[in-house]
Amino acid sequence: MAARTKASCTPALIKWARETAGYGIADVAERLGVSEDQLKAWESGDTSEDSPSIPQLRKLAGLFKRPLAVFFLAEVPTRFEVMRDLRRLPGTGPRQFSPSLQLEIRAACERRELALELASELEEPIKRFQLSANITDDADSVGQAVRTALGVSDDLQAKWKDVDGRTAFNAWRNRIEDFGVLVFQTTSFASEQASGFAIAAEELPVIAVNRKDPLTRRTFSLLHEFAHLMVHVSGVSELETDVSRPPEDQKIEVFCNQVAAATLMPKDVLLALPTVRGHGSRSAPWKDDEIGDLARMFGASREALLRRLLTFGRTTQEFYNLKRAQYNSEYQAKLKREQEQPKKEMKRDMPVETMSTFGRPLVRLLLDNYHQDRLSLSALSGLLNLKVKHIPKLEQKLRA
């Protein structure tokens, strides 16, 4: 049998592609059916024989979601930078982004670059993100500054009340997008991996929130990541504060949580409510319906509302811990019921999903470039991953 032709690729690019895709040596070796030593040899390129065959390189390209041509570049690309990981520390070993999370970060970076290019083609001015904060600032003052910048008054927010928090989430998202931020929703990684991430930049910064989270959690995550943009820290986050992190990471995440809470549930408004005034200092006998009604009023989760009450000494740490455990138990039970129920074939609304994933600003830029003949219909369809037949309905939704 003739020997397979070796690919004359750059060894360092194999390692770069693997690491930026979130894969370990063992996992890739198993998927390709080669030894770990063989894969390490490909990445080091010590001899001319230490190269994958063309079919093997195609498999690597498919696994890492990279064009085959990227492996033949002269050097490792420098545009893609690994983001700061602000999640909890694992029990052992370093933290690592999963392949699905890594892919979402790459997609967000590419969409931002696309938006910048599209805006340039249209000769549109781009708003600069000029809000800033320091983690030593008073979080309540920063929260009020966010509300003022986004044009959210107490009366306006009161109109966003609904059962599941969808109205509030969409309203906050629209205000943030109008402020010059690209807001995406992710779907490929679990809630346990991350609540979202932020890409800080002066022009078209990015916020991505996990669509698998409940809507109230997504709203909080949206504001948490907005605080990340203000402190100029790009990173992947989770909303838990009572976890182990490096001290500096912990300070950042606690501050961003505090700003999100202050933005969503202003101190003066919360403490002036009759229900809250009716409870004394360090009150423990909060009823479930009281907590639920207050949470819906602000479009927040019950846990976030209770945490805010704890901050102002309106409940106890013991009561908060008790209810937090209850809410987590209820959520896990709900997930189990959903998993046990037979899967129903739900008709997907692709234009709605596309708008939800990409956000209004990027969709508008794409459609405007198409209507000015700078994009073909097939290119527009490909960039949105949406069939041509759905484009008219997407336009209707954007106008609405």
Both structure tokens of 371: 């209507």
Based on the number of CB atoms within 10 Å of its own CB, is 192 exposed (0-12), middle (13-18) or buried (19 or more)? exposed
Are 53 and 5 contacting, i.e. CB atoms less than 8 angstroms apart? yes
In contact, 322 and 288? CB cutoff 8 Å: no
Label residue 71 exposed, middle or buried (CB < 10 Å: 0-12, 13-18, 19+).
buried
Average pLDDT of the chain is 89
The per-residue pLDDT for 188 is 86
pLDDT of residue 342: 80
Model pLDDT for residues 96-115, shown as the tens digit of each residue: 788 888 889 989 999 999 99
Instruction: Say what the pLDDT of residue 253 is.
Output: 92
Residue 82: which pLDDT band, with cuts at 50, 70 and 90? low
Question: For 331-381, what is each residue's pLDDT tens digit?
Answer: 889 888 888 888 777 788 999 999 999 999 999 999 999 999 999 999 999
Report the helix count and the strand count for the chain, using DSSP H and E: 19, 5
Name the CATH superfamily for 11-74.
lambda repressor-like DNA-binding domains (1.10.260.40)
Q: What angle do CA 226, 228, 233 make, to 5 degrees?
A: 145
Q: Which two tokens stand for residue 42?
A: 């490909």
Structure tokens that stand for 276 in this block: 């809250």
pLDDT score for 176: 98
Strands (E), 232-349: 235-237
Q: What is the pTM of this model?
A: 0.85
pLDDT at 214 over 80: yes
172 and 223 Cβ atoms separated by less than 8 Å: yes
- Cα–Cα distance between 364 and 238 in angstroms, integer? 30
Q: For 123-127, 204-208, 345-349, which range has the lowest pLDDT when averaged over its residues?
A: 345-349
Considering only CA atoms, which of 356, 366, 388, 364 is closest in space to residue 187?
A: 356
Strand partners, 184: 208
| pLDDT band per the 50, 70, 90 thresholds, residue 263 | very high
Q: How confident is the model at residue 2 (pLDDT cuts 50, 70, 90)?
A: very low
For position 108, what pLDDT does the model report?
93
Q: Where are the domains of the chain?
A: 11-74, 100-264, 278-340, 350-399
Is the distance from CB of 224 to CB of 256 less than 8 angstroms? yes
Q: Hey, what are 263's tokens?
A: 């933005």
Residue 3 has pLDDT above 60, yes or no: no
Of the chain, the percentage scoring pLDDT greater than 70 comes to: 94
Residue 78: predicted pLDDT? 66
The single residue listed with the structure tokens 């994009």 is 375
As beta bridge partners, residue 207 has 183, 198
248 confidence band (pLDDT: 50, 70, 90): confident
Is residue 196 classed as helix, strand or coil in its secondary structure? strand
The pLDDT value recorded for residue 20 is 81
- CA 170 from chain centre, in angstroms, equals 15
Asked whether residue 60 carries a pLDDT value surpassing 70, the answer given is yes
Indicate if the pLDDT at residue 92 is higher than 60: no
The answer to whether 371 and 381 are in contact (CB under 8 A) is: no
Residues 6+ apart with CB under 8 A from 306: 286, 291, 315, 319, 320, 323, 324
* Helix, coil or strand: residue 225: helix
